[in-house]
Amino acid sequence: MNNSSPVLVTGGAGFIGSNFVLDWLSAVGSPLVNLDKITYAGNLQNLVAAETYSGYSFERGDICDAGLLHRILNHYAPGAVVHLAAESHVDRSLLGPGDFVQTNVQGTFCLLECVRAYLERLSPARRAEFRFIHVSTDEVYGTLSPGDPPFTESTAYAPNSPYAASKASSDFLVRSYVHSYGFPAITTNCSNNYGPFQFPEKLLPLMIANAVAGKPLPVYGDGRQVRDWLYVGDHCAALRLVLDRGRVGETYNIGGRNEQTNLDTVRLLCALLDELLPESPHKPHEGLIQFVADRPGHDRRYAIDAAKIERELGWRPAETFATGLRRTVEWYLANRDWMEQVMSGAYQHWIDRNYAARGAANQ
């Protein structure tokens, strides 16, 4: 990619998106255009530091708006797109799957079509350099049994939630454009991200917020669901490598090699909070754990085999789960004002709707 051409990031005000924007501006420093609709999970406060970079531009809008996409592509003339815009929470997809089909499927289709038209207007040299990075999830692969090997890039898709199905559909759309039109796309499938700026509907920030407030820590079912945890900074570094040296048409799985049960994860989090909040009236925080009715169709285990990206691009996660979790907890404790501002109004309404009907469950 030509460093004089900006990279266009969709969904750059969300959790992974804002981390990627800040990482890119700090590590690469070349121009970046951030397109975000600013839904409940998008937060421009995440990007205050980005405003100090002269090469940073923000555009508010929807990836389903073809007219807006054409204008942005023609005006900024990007040399790459990193497509992160997505509805991403399984529980929300169970309550309202239509939004996931609209953003993740229709939005990706609209973006592909607009970028395809844009590429036709580029010179052969610029077209050859252009890359489209489609960021997806390990949930498209379905669930694993305890003894199964981790997901690889050749694992058959078996999505089990509306969210996972919508992301699988978008993956297939991208694949079809590569094979049908020679579209210069690369797909990445990542495991569970965690770190700063994550909206507190997801497990770790929700547990941190509740524990600090002395509220119950709701753990689905028996808490033995296994997830592979990937620190968001490691994910951003992997995406930069894929953009720089990844092969067009390929898929790269990005995982942290950190399999943990949800219950063990929450217990480790509680132990950290006991250490970092020695005066907390809620110690030991593990006593706040409450088992609630399980999520419908809850996948039992995810695990990523990241050997391909490690072998081909030399990427390795820099954080262990212990170091990444500590960094994460410390960030949320140091940024409680951020937590308070995002945990208001619409968010609280959703929390009440999602958890009120579940109640406590037997361990």
Q: What is the pLDDT of residues 82-128, one digit of tens each?
A: 999 999 878 889 989 999 999 999 999 999 999 999 999 999 999 99
Note the pTM of the prediction, 2 decimals. 0.93
> At residue 6, what are phi and psi to the nearest 5 degrees?
-75, 160
- What the chain holds in terms of domains, given with CATH numbers, is 7-260+301-352 (3.40.50.720)
Does the pLDDT of residue 68 top 90, yes or no? yes
At residue 363, the pLDDT reads 40
Place of tokens 């085999």: 305
The Cα–Cα gap between 187 and 256 comes to 17
Q: Which of 62, 91, 138, 310 is catalytic?
A: 138
Residue-wise pLDDT for 153-202, tens only, equals 999 999 999 999 999 999 999 999 999 999 999 999 999 999 999 988 88
In percent, the amount of the chain with pLDDT more than 70 equals: 94
Quick one: tokens of 109? 């289709």
For 330, the enclosing helix (H) or strand (E) is helix 321-334
At residue 3, the pLDDT reads 66
Quick one: tokens of 279? 């005066």
> At residue 186, what are phi and psi to the nearest 5 degrees?
-135, 135
At residue 287, the pLDDT reads 97
Active site residue 139: yes
Contact 162, 100 (CB under 8 A): yes
Residue-wise pLDDT for 132-159, tens only, equals 999 999 999 999 999 999 999 999 999 9
Q: Which of 56, 76, 118, 163 is catalytic?
A: 163
Q: Which of 36, 91, 139, 310 is catalytic?
A: 139
Average predicted confidence (pLDDT) for the chain: 93
Contact 30, 6 (CB under 8 A): yes
Residue-wise pLDDT for 309-353, tens only, equals 999 999 999 999 999 999 999 999 999 988 888 877 665 565 576
Active site residue 163: yes
